[in-house]
Amino acid sequence: MGKYKVDIPLVDTNNLKVLKQSEMIDLFKRYQKGDKNAKEEIINGNLKLVLSIVNKYNNGKNDMNDLFQIGCVGLIKAVDNFSLEYNVQFSTYAVPLILGEVKRYIRDSSVVRISRSIRDNAYQILKYRDEYMMKNGVEPSNKQICHKLHISEYELSSALESLVSPLSIYDPIYNDGGDTIYLIDQIADKKDTNKEDIIGLNNALKKVGKREAGVLYDRYIYGKTQVEIAEDLGVSQAQVSRIEKNAIKSIKRYMR
């Protein structure tokens, strides 16, 4: 289930029933004749589909219980509007509807306030995408969306960007098993650096060993990870970590 387990009240997510295609067809025939129990069986037999979709957003930032409930709203809409005449599997029809509900919920509950016009555009784009995909089996191109909704490519881009959840500067963006690189590590510092510090750093680098200086250059100038440097030097990642720490201590000592 990913890093964060999804616990849904009153639902055993480890033992959700999955219906066979033949069972789905039979249940839809019963439901479309007015059998309300058949509808409940269809919903219960597709909860795992909802779970698989919301689990993609299982990153610790979203309330998974809320997302699951919202996903179920999309599932119910799909059940109410599906017809066997579409000649497609129910899951093919339901996924865009479930995903659309989840994305709208995340967008509307974002801590960043989005203007009404952009929010409306985003809703219309998702709606048109869902309808187009259900009809044609593929997503429409950006040009088709712009033409259909009479919006510019800039408006399309702004609307789609509004659907993306904001990141914390302390969010990890890469981990190779050794080092973790955070978003803040990739943000440039535009402040002027003290020239005396630069001169002192250059002099300190000349005093440390060639190997230590090489590791520092690889790490902080060329952006290599400890694992990559270890492969270059033919040593372990732990050894590179020790070389780096010792080099930094030496630099600090020489710069005092």
Q: 120-135 pLDDT, tens per residue?
A: 888 888 888 888 888 8
- Regarding whether 28 and 116 lie in a shared domain, the answer is yes
Task: Identify the segments of the chain with pLDDT beneath 70.
Answer: 1-15, 59-62, 107-115, 162-197
Mean pLDDT of the chain: 77
Distance CA 92, CA 62 (A): 25
Question: Which pLDDT score is estimated for 3?
Answer: 36
Same domain, 49 and 146: yes
| pTM given for the model | 0.44
Per-residue tokens: 194: 């003290």
CA–CA separation, 92 vs 86, rounded Å?
10
Q: Do 65 and 154 have their domain in common?
A: yes
Flag whether 11 is in a domain.
no
Domain of residue 235 covers: 172-255
Crossing angle (nearest 10°) for helices 153-161 and 142-149: 100
Structure tokens at 138: 């593929």
> In DSSP terms, which residues pair with 181 in a beta bridge?
174
| Helix (H/G/I), strand (E/B), else coil: 149 | helix
**136 shares a domain with 51:** yes
pLDDT of residue 164: 62
Q: Does 166 reside within a domain?
A: no
pLDDT attached to residue 183:
53
Task: Please state, as a whole number, how many other Cβ atoms lie within 10 Å of the Cβ of residue 154.
Answer: 9
pLDDT score of 102: 87
The Cα 57–Cα 234 span in angstroms is: 39
State residue 75's pLDDT score.
Answer: 92
